[in-house]
Amino acid sequence: MPSHERPFLALGLRLAAMVMLSLMLVLVKLTGERGMPLPETMFWRQTLPAVMLLGWLGARGELRRLRTARPWVHFRRAMIGTAGMFLTLGVVQILPLAEATVLGFTAPVFAVILSALVLKEKVGPWRWLAVAIGLLGILVIAGPSEGKLPALGVAVGVGAAFMVALVSIQLRDLGRTEEPLTVVFYFSAMSAPLLALFLFHTGVHHDALGWLMLGGIGVLGLAAQLLMTAALRFGRVSSVIVMDYSQFGWATLWGWIVFDHLPPATTWIGAPIVIAAGLIIAWREHVLARTRATGPVIA
């Protein structure tokens, strides 16, 4: 084990990130119920992290860390990421928290498909099996039940997962030359001006509680990003990613406490299927990473 790896700390940081992320989604859903337009919520979600990161780096005299030779790649990532965020936060306002969260777990499935189609990676039977399992899980969750999910919500949730997978392909490319803090900053800083245009239409008139919710979304979003980044400093992706699935538990808990909703049977059946697909993909990525240097392996 490399000297810098601290697996239990990494797991704890990733778990804390999922708590922050789940609480952020609670606030997003609450702002939607208060009638706050989603583009405005997204504006504050992006602006506050950008300002806080800029201030933190400025206070430390480390603004040079924001230098980049790939501004157009960052811009492309910001535009695609903004579209993905619109779907990711939008599905929370359409579906119950637990169901919206589970559909987001299909992102690794779409990442495998995109890796084969875009990056021309060789994908073997294990990962194609995981893709099939993940799609089966979607069908179970969206299937007939007393609390049948609206088709629009399922479509937005699946679209959000696809966009997350697309962004992950871009991040893999940016990760070759940029540090995570730089990627987070430019994503926020480049998308915020575009989102600001919507403020001319929606306005910014809120009571104190509304402003606290918007501020909380920005702070919790940044905290989640920094904690996820920190987790990867002390542990491998294949090890810490298991904590991501704890978000289903948090989403179910907050959905019950805050919104008086418990998932129907189809969600309880479909969620483990979708999670199993993600874990198979994570396991195969781990195996591939360990064996790639020693010879070919069936992916």
Per residue in 181-229, pLDDT (tens digit) is 888 899 999 999 999 988 877 666 788 999 999 999 999 988 888 888 7
Residues 156 and 91 sit within 8 Å (Cβ to Cβ): yes
Position 1 pLDDT exceeds 50:
no
In degrees, rounded to 5, the angle at the alpha carbon of residue 13 between the alpha carbons of residues 10 and 15 is 110
Q: How far apart are CA 24 and CA 216, in angstroms?
A: 7
Q: How far apart are CA 22 and CA 257, in angstroms?
A: 13
Amino acid 168: pLDDT: 77
Amino acid 294: pLDDT: 58
> Tokens in use for 88?
């990711």
Looking at the chain, how many residues does it have? 299
Residues 241 and 280 sit within 8 Å (Cβ to Cβ): no
Amino acid 257: pLDDT: 94
Supply the pTM of this predicted model: 0.82
pLDDT of 248-276, one tens digit each?
A: 999 999 999 999 998 888 889 988 999 89
For residues 133-159, one letter each, b for 16 or more C-beta atoms within 10 angstroms of the residue's C-beta and e for the rest, the string is bbbebbebbbeeeeeebeeebbebbbb
Q: How far apart are CA 199 and CA 152, in angstroms?
A: 26
Position 137 pLDDT exceeds 60:
yes
Q: Output the DSSP codes for 43-110.
A: HHHHHHHHHHHHHHHHHTT-GGGG--S-HHHHHHHHHHHHHHHHHHHHHHHHS-HHHHHHHHTTHHHH
Per-residue pLDDT band for 145 (boundaries 50, 70, 90) equals low
HEC profile of 208-275: HHHHHHHHHHHHHHHHHHHHHHHHHHHCCHHHHHHHHHHHHHHHHHHHHHHHCCCCCHHHHHHHHHHH
Q: How far apart are CA 161 and CA 270, in angstroms?
A: 16
pLDDT of 17-46, one tens digit each?
A: 999 999 999 999 999 998 888 998 999 999
Amino acid 6: pLDDT: 75
Of residues 241, 247, 232, 248, the one with CA closest to residue 283: 241
Q: How far apart are CA 299 and CA 287, in angstroms?
A: 9
> Tokens in use for 13?
């940081």
Q: How far apart are CA 241 and CA 239, in angstroms?
A: 6
Amino acid 4: pLDDT: 61
In whole angstroms, how far apart are CA 195 and each of 66, 198, 271?
22, 6, 33
Q: How far apart are CA 243 and CA 218, in angstroms?
A: 22
